[in-house]
């Protein structure tokens, strides 16, 4: 089972006239809300600092971008960039999970070590344009690829995150405190499997289906080639892995996926269902944004039995 690239690819390219997105546009979050596709994407100009841009589309293919970024570095925690957003809607509020790339130490008085400057952060919005920073998931460790589930599970908020090299599950009662005792590893690299033998990390927002939570995740091997795979988690106990196929569903093939700022990368942080189709938006070689699709029934069949 393989995803199908859209013939209009790549969908978004760097804008050479822009100071903040002239070099790379990649790793977008995309949701479908009120009949429109809304994209929040990571962009870099010649200063190499990542900022978040916004674009909107009626069909998910042709996009209108805002001229200015909507989310920019603010302090030492994200001074070197805001990276890899994912957006989850909970009720009438949108939550963005993103990686803050900043100084190794942050704080007043005695400095606080924040894990090499890589901090998993939260923000919220009522309109998808203006965002309020909420704070970190954890501090003191390099942790990223954190993604909120789209509903509470047994009265708790749930989230995927990466404690390298594994994907973990975390839970919270209030989206503010994530107790360590409610964190547990889900799955990790498979040395015998080749394509996901070195590191794994989460993709877009988990998709609720009758068969379980459908997870699209990325992984790479010793050649540092990023590919995408699937996993099914139990609906009411997502710490339980129902099935994880051995094969991948997507890998770099096109020249613009193989050659770029970081070669041999397809990295998705957006997978959403519209109608019967699964849209998988991805960053190609950390340089461009593209789209691949698949029928939802087809990928669920693979996720269950592949």
Query: What domains are defined for the chain?
Result: 8-305 (2.115.10.20)
Q: Which two tokens stand for residue 177?
A: 């405190």
Give pLDDT tens digits for 14-40: 999 999 999 999 999 999 999 999 999
Average pLDDT over residues 246-262: 98
CB 128 within 8 A of CB 142: no
Residue 114 has pLDDT above 60, yes or no: no
CB 291 within 8 A of CB 9: yes
Cα of first residue to Cα of last residue in the chain, in angstroms, is 8
Cα R_g (the chain), whole angstroms: 18
Residue 113 has pLDDT above 50, yes or no: no
Give the predicted TM-score (pTM) of the model: 0.95
Mean pLDDT of the residues in the chain: 94
CA–CA distance, 263 with 243 (Å, rounded to integer): 30
- Give the model's pLDDT for residue 106: 46
The CA-atom distances, in angstroms, between 24 and each of 99, 181, 284 are 17, 39, 10
Q: Which two tokens stand for residue 231?
A: 């996993």
Average pLDDT over residues 204-211: 98
C-alpha torsion 210→251→220→261, nearest 10: -130
- Give the model's pLDDT for residue 103: 67
């Amino acid at each position: 089972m393989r995803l199908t690239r859209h013939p209009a690819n790549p969908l978004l390219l760097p804008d050479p006239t822009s100071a903040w997105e002239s070099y790379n546009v990649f790793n977008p979050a995309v949701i479908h809300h009120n009949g429109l596709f809304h994209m929040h994407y990571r962009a870099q100009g010649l200063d190499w600092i990542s900022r978040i841009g916004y674009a909107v589309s009626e069909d998910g293919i042709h996009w209108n971008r805002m001229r200015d970024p909507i989310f920019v570095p603010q302090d030492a925690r994200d001074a070197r960039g805001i990276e890899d957003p994912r957006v989850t809607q909970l009720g009438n509020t949108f939550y963005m999970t993103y990686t803050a790339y900043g100084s190794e130490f942050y704080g007043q008085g005695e400095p606080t070590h924040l894990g090499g400057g890589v901090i998993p952060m939260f923000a919220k919005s009522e309109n998808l344009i203006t965002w309020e920073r909420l704070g970190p998931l954890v501090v003191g460790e390099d942790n990223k690829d954190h993604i909120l589930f789209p509903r509470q599970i047994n009265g708790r908020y749930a989230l995927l995150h990466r404690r390298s090299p594994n994907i973990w599950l975390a839970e919270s009662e209030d989206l503010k405190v994530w107790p360590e005792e409610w964190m547990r590893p889900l799955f990790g690299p498979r040395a015998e499997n080749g394509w996901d033998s070195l590191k794994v990390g989460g993709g877009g927002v988990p998709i609720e289906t009758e068969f379980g939570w459908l997870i699209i995740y990325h992984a790479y091997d010793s050649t540092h080639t990023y590919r995408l795979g699937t996993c099914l988690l139990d609906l009411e106990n997502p710490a339980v892995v129902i099935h994880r196929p051995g094969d991948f569903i997507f890998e770099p093939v096109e020249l613009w996926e193989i050659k770029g700022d970081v070669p041999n990368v397809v990295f998705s942080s957006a997978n959403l269902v519209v109608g019967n189709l699964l849209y998988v938006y991805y960053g190609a070689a950390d340089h461009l944004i593209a789209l691949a699709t698949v029928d939802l029934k087809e990928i669920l069949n693979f996720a269950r039995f592949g």
